[in-house]
């Protein structure tokens, strides 16, 4: 297996670089959109301690996104800030489920956000992120392996937090459990897109960038079901389309527009 020590080496192999950048965009764009959805909760979380915790996790997750955009910058994809803020929905590789709005209403007037959706989405996502990062520590691209190792030293705090919420709300029974279960079933019908590696999956495997998506799926299902039990008799689905192939909903378009409004107010500011 060919090992690539740095960006310069990777750039000399166009096919390798193509698969590598695709994978890095997935890591970066997933963290980016989920951190944005998290930031919309600022000041609205169920209690003050949660507000502090959630915003800390969100800031750290945005830091991880920036970290992956920097790896893309090293590969000649352009400035990391530009990659984060100036790419349209069609070039985003994040999964569709992650762009789903937090609930009805809008941040600025009546945000009827759903805590059940947030708890389920973040818990499912953090379990997935941990699996994908663990597999990436063995990547043939050394800077990605290093990045995965680094992020894994911080990310388990995020996972532990959402796992605690899931366990407590399920144990509470009644409406809390019902609403959580409903959101889990909904997620089950859409989450396959998150677990997939997209159109270049085979190229990624051939280049030993990361293990196959079947491995990601198996490990994710096993870990999630250990915590919450069996979710559904149905197959995992991707009802909302394949974000990995660039398919997205209008909800991403609006999110990116909101983000760029802030970004456009001062393009030189450090975010």
Partner 1 sequence: MKVPIEETNKKIYNVLKHVDDPELPGVSVFDLGMVHKVEVSGKGAFITMIPTFTGCPALDIIAKDVKVAVEKLAEIDCCKVEFSYRQPWTTDAITEKGKEQLKKHGVSPPPEHYTPGEEWSVDCPFCKSPFTSMENVFGPTACRSILYCKTCKNPFEAMKPVVKYLVN
Beta carbon of residue 118, minimum distance to partner 1 (angstroms, whole number): 16
* Nearer to partner 1 among residue 72 and residue 96 (C-beta): 72
Cα 216 to Cα 70, 192, 211, 220, 223: the distances in Å are: 24, 10, 8, 6, 11
Complex with partner 1: residue 53 or 170, whichever CB lies closer = 53
Q: Which is nearer to partner 1, 74 or 251 (CB)?
A: 74
What the block records as the tokens of 29 is: 């764009």
| Contact present, 95 and 30 (Cβ < 8 Å) | yes
Considering only CA atoms, which of 98, 29, 34 is closest in space to residue 67?
Answer: 29
Whose Cβ is closer to partner 1: residue 63's or residue 78's?
63
Q: Smallest distance, Å, CB 92 to partner 1?
A: 21
> Distance (Å, rounded) from C-alpha 267 to C-alpha 271?
9
Q: Which is nearer to partner 1, 187 or 216 (CB)?
A: 216
Residue ranges in contact with partner 1 by CB under 8 A? 49, 52-54, 56-57, 59-64, 66-67, 134, 137-138, 143, 146-147, 149-154, 156-157, 160-161, 270
Q: Which pairs from 84-91 meet CB under 8 Å and 24+ separation? A: 84/28, 84/32, 84/271, 85/259, 85/260, 85/263, 86/260, 88/256, 89/248, 89/252, 89/253, 89/256, 90/246, 90/248, 91/246
Q: How far is the CB of 229 from partner 1 (least distance, A)?
A: 21
- Say if residues 219 and 172 touch (Cβ distance below 8 Å): no
| Residue nearer to partner 1 on the CB measure, 138 or 257 | 138
State the minimum distance, in angstroms, from the CB of residue 164 to partner 1.
10
Q: Please, what is the minimum distance in Å from the beta carbon of residue 180 to partner 1? A: 22
In angstroms, give the least distance from the CB of 71 to partner 1.
9
User: Sign of the CA dihedral 92, 148, 60, 170?
Assistant: positive
């Amino acid at each position: 297996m060919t090992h690539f020590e740095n960006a310069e080496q990777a750039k000399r192999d166009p096919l390798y670089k193509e698969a590598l950048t695709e994978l890095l965009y997935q890591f970066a764009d997933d963290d980016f959109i989920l951190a944005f959805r998290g930031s919309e909760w600022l000041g609205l979380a169920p209690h003050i301690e949660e507000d502090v915790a959630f915003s800390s996790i969100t800031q750290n997750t945005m830091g991880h996104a920036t970290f992956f955009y920097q790896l893309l910058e090293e590969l000649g994809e352009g400035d990391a800030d530009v990659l984060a803020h100036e790419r349209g929905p069609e070039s985003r590789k994040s999964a569709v489920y992650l762009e789903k709005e937090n609930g009805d209403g809008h941040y600025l007037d009546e945000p009827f956000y759903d805590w059940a959706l947030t708890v389920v989405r973040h818990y499912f996502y953090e379990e997935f992120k941990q699996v994908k990062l663990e597999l990436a520590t063995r990547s043939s691209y050394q800077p990605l392996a290093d990045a995965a190792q680094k992020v894994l030293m911080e990310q388990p705090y995020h996972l532990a937090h959402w796992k605690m919420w899931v366990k407590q709300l399920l144990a509470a029974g009644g409406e809390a459990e019902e609403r959580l279960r409903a959101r889990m079933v909904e997620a089950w019908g859409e989450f396959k897109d998150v677990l997939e590696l997209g159109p270049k999956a085979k190229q990624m495997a051939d280049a030993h960038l990361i293990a196959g998506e079947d491995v990601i799926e198996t490990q994710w299902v096993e870990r999630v079901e250990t915590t919450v039990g069996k979710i559904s008799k149905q197959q995992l689905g991707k009802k909302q389309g394949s974000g990995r192939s660039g398919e997205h909903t209008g909800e991403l378009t609006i999110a990116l527009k909101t983000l760029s409004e802030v970004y456009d107010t001062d393009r030189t500011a450090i975010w």
